[in-house]
Each structure stands twice: as C-alpha cells, then as structure tokens.
Amino acid sequence: MFGAAGNDTPVTTGNYIDGVARPAEGGRTYSLYNPARPDELVGHAALSSFADVDAAVEAAHAAYPAWSRTSYAERAAKLNQVADYLEAGQDDVDQRARLFCREHGKIIKETHLEVSRLGDRFRTTAAYADRLERDEIEHGPPFDTIITRQPRGVATLIVPWNWPLSILGAKLPQALMAGNTVVVKPSELSVLAPSMTLQKIAEMFPPGVINIVTGDATEIGDRLVGHPLVRFVNFTGSVRIGKHVMKVAADQMTPVTLELGGNDPAIVCADARLDDKAFMNMYLGTFMSSGQICMALKRLYVHRSRYDEVIDGLSSVCNRMVVGDGLLPETNMGPVNNAKQLKTVTDMIAQARASGAEVRECGQVPDEALYRNGYFQKPALIFNPDQRLDIVAEEQFGPALPIMPFDSELEAIRLANDSRYGLCSSVWTEDRDRALTIARQLEAGYTYLNGHGPTAQDFRGPFGGFKDSGFGRNLGYEGVVQFQGHHSISSVPGWLF
C-alpha cells in the first residue's frame, strides 16, 4: 500500500477497508506537493469513489454487531493496547514525521509531536470504562427504570488538514469506546502520514471496525455523510462546510457533532503578568502551526494601560522567530498549508493596511527565494483595526493577529462576545476572582486562564463551541457519550430491583 517514507521520494497511500489495504477503485490517485516548495512532489493518495465509500461503510456495518457487544472493559483493553504501541516509539516515527512536515508545512517539531503522542488520547478515553459501565437507576413508584446508553452504529469521522491526528484523537478512541465502528475521512490536503499512522492503529482491531477512505471531499463527502447505513457524523472543519454537512445528514435524520471555526478573543487585564513567559505563551497560542489552529488566539484585547507593553513584548518574541522550511531545525514557523488559505490571510492583512491600520510583519527570513516561492507569511501584528474589518470579524486561520485596546472590563467582554463564533477564549490576570468572573461571561465553549490554545488545554475536558462554532462536544467523558443514545428500560415497581 505504501511507498518508502524518509528518503524524500514520493510515497503512495491507499484506502484501508475491512482489514485490507487497497487502492481506490480503478487505481485512481491524486498528487500532494510541499507547501514550502510547491513544485516538489511529496506523494500520491487514493482518490476514492462512491464504490469505495460504500465498501467502507458496509464493512463497518458488518463489523458493528460483534464490536458493539464487547464490554467497556474489553474496549478499554484494546485502546490501552493502541496507547502502548503509540507510546513505545515505532521504528518509522521519524520518517512519518518528516513526510508529514513535507506534505503539510508545519515545523518538524510539531509533526513529530503529532505523529508520536497520540497514545495519551486513547489511554485517557480507556480510563472512562468504569464510569461508562454504570447505569442510572430510578426507583418507583410509578416505575423502576434503568437509564443506560447504547452505541449508535457506523460513525463517519471527518478531520481537517491542520492537526489531523490530534483532532482524530478527539473522535476515534471516543467512538470506539462507545461501541461504534467507524469510517475515517482525512482531509485531502494532509493525508499521507496521517493515513499511514491511522492504518497502523486500524490493524490492531478486528476487520471492519476502523476503515479509511481518502480523496476529494467534493466528490465523496456527501456520500459519506448521507449514506443510509451511517448513524452518526462527527465533523471538524469550516462553518460553510459544517452547515452543508448538517443539511445532508438531515435527509437521513443522522445526528451530527460539528466542531467548526473559531475567532478566539483574549482579554489582557490591567493587572496581567507580562513577562517573557507570558509573551511566549501569547505567541504560541497565536502562531503555533502558522496560526492554523481552530482554538488559536485570533483577537487580542488589551487594557489601554498595558497596550504599548503588549505590542512591544509580542513584537520582540515574533521578531526572534525564523520563517522557512519546516524541516530545518532552526525554523520556528513554516508555510501556510495551501495557496487558497494564504490568499485568505494576505487579503485580510491588505484590507487592514488599506484601511489605515498599522501592520507590523515580524520574524526572520533566511531564504528569501524560498519565502517568495512558497506559501509563506511572516507573523503579522495589526494594531487597533476597526472591529468591522475581516481581520477582526472573521477567522483568519493564519499568522496574523489584531491587537485592540479597551478601557473597562465590561467593554472588553462586550467586544469579545461581539462575534458569530464561540469556540474558545482566554483571560490574562493575576486575580483569580476577576479571571473567573470574566470567564463566566464569555460566550465560548472553553476559556483558558493566562494561556491560550493547545499548550494551555486540559484534554480531559469536553471541547466544542457555541453559535457558528458548532455544537456537540469532543474529548472528555462527554465526548464518548456523544457517540451513544440513551436507552430507558422500566417495569412495575419491585420487579427489576
């Protein structure tokens, strides 16, 4: 199924259906190129058809009865087995991390982290076995009732290109622990190394429990979402596509979890600690993966008394960063993943500049020719832009951050909530009571205190958003229950208990 990875020769990945690695129907593939060097071919992935989707769903459907009858303890043991394998350090981790860097663009440190540290998501989910096993009991009169849950059936899991394995870790172990079988569709823009890693996991389960199909979402996406044998859809991606997924699923009355975009605000209070560590945390919260993270810091509101201090401190950190090929150890920021996303970000920056807002592009570029030819954008800070500009009102999903002053905390809360998004937020203050008071007023599914983004997140907590950021939750105990439906069983008093 796979060509050799690690020597930078093109690789080829296929589908994985019913326990067998196989090409797409007719041997169709498509090509992926390095976003740092757009003329460099990285590999080919299976370009699946309706027939491939049908085969994957039917395999998952056939495997469902046996898998759903396993106990929580048995499922937990299997998830822990996966965790043991992932945490042991597989021989080809370095090769897959390098391949991932070349197909995605993010720096090698991040790709290695994603490829090698998925095991904790499986182990954390396995730890819920005892809690999931317990039913709720209601004693009569009028009836004695057991309130339990049961898996839904075949689940379609659709993951985006920015952190495909990490995001899969918020869906896959949860779906399996709940007793479902799955069909996974990785993004066509970041598929080679993720598919290789996922197949290694799938091989540890009975045939049909985990199936993988790759290809063009515009061609097979509706089939995956609207298939009559699919009983649940868990999608992470854009608001536009999420709304379409919801419409397609509605035709089959298929329930969905949608984790969509974010435009995360951060509020820096007058008493915030602003030292080098704080500015580095702000940088990481904003610019990790070139800003291509749904829970990245995307709007920074700063008390006017600390505004200049934040601008100077964050500019200093950004200016130390090296922008270039993610394979190079000195690189801190790689390219944006694709030309379309780069244009989205640069258009927002240009609009802000044209409106009169000051734009400061930071960072060091050791290879100007590479920078010009690849999908690069240096970290850009935009000072006090109008709230109506796209750089503030929309999700940039790239290395650009608007910074705005405020005079009162009530104003800051109003500005933070003045968005159609509601995924994450953060509050920066030395006062615990102030932090909690502000956090409880923010319209967001997750609020970080004195940090932001993946480096500040407790992955045991449920994750998801409000408003256009979607509904339903991934991660945590709640993330498992999303993949189940409640089932009540009752009798006359005294007969069940």
pLDDT of residue 5: 38
β 297-303/264-268 pair status: parallel
Residues 219 and 368 in one domain: no
- Structural domain includes residue 466: no
Residues 250 and 278 in one domain: no
Domains contained in the chain, number: 2
CB 257 within 8 A of CB 473: yes
- Structural domain includes residue 140: yes
Burial 12-35 (b: 16+ CB within 10 A, else e): ebbbbbbbebebbbeebbeebebb
Catalytic residue check, 294: yes
| Cβ neighbours, 10 Å, residue 116 | 18
pLDDT of residue 7: 59
Pick from 125, 223, 113: which is nearest to 454 by CA? 113
pLDDT of residue 90: 74
d(CA 72, CA 359): 54
- Structural domain includes residue 326: yes
pLDDT of residue 88: 85
Residues 71 and 188 in one domain: yes
Residues 92 and 197 in one domain: yes
In which residue ranges of the chain is pLDDT below 70? 1-7
d(CA 198, CA 191): 10
Q: How many helices (H) and strands (E) does the chain have?
A: 19, 23
Residues 340 and 426 in one domain: yes
pLDDT in tens, 118-171: 999 999 999 999 999 999 999 999 999 999 999 999 999 999 999 999 999 999
- Structural domain includes residue 405: yes
- Structural domain includes residue 6: no
Residues 158 and 28 in one domain: yes
Residues 344 and 378 in one domain: yes
- Which listed residue (269, 294, 318, 362) is catalytic? 294
pLDDT in tens, 354-397: 999 999 999 999 999 999 999 999 999 999 999 999 999 999 99
pTM: 0.95
Residues 124 and 200 in one domain: yes
- Which listed residue (103, 110, 188, 259) is catalytic? 259
d(CA 305, CA 375): 37
- Structural domain includes residue 467: no
- Structural domain includes residue 465: no
Residues 420 and 481 in one domain: no
Burial 341-361 (b: 16+ CB within 10 A, else e): bbebbbebbeebeeeebebbb
Catalytic residue check, 309: no
Residues 291 and 193 in one domain: no
CATH number of the domain at 23, please.
3.40.605.10
Residues 197 and 311 in one domain: no
By residue range, what is the domain housing residue 436? 264-458
pLDDT of residue 2: 37
CATH number of the domain at 319, please.
3.40.309.10
Q: What token pair was written down for 461?
A: 């907590």
Kindly report the three-state secondary structure assignment for every residue of 257-291: EEECCCCEEEEECCCCCCCHHHHHHHHHHHHHHHH
Residues 424 and 440 in one domain: yes
pLDDT of residue 115: 84
- Structural domain includes residue 347: yes
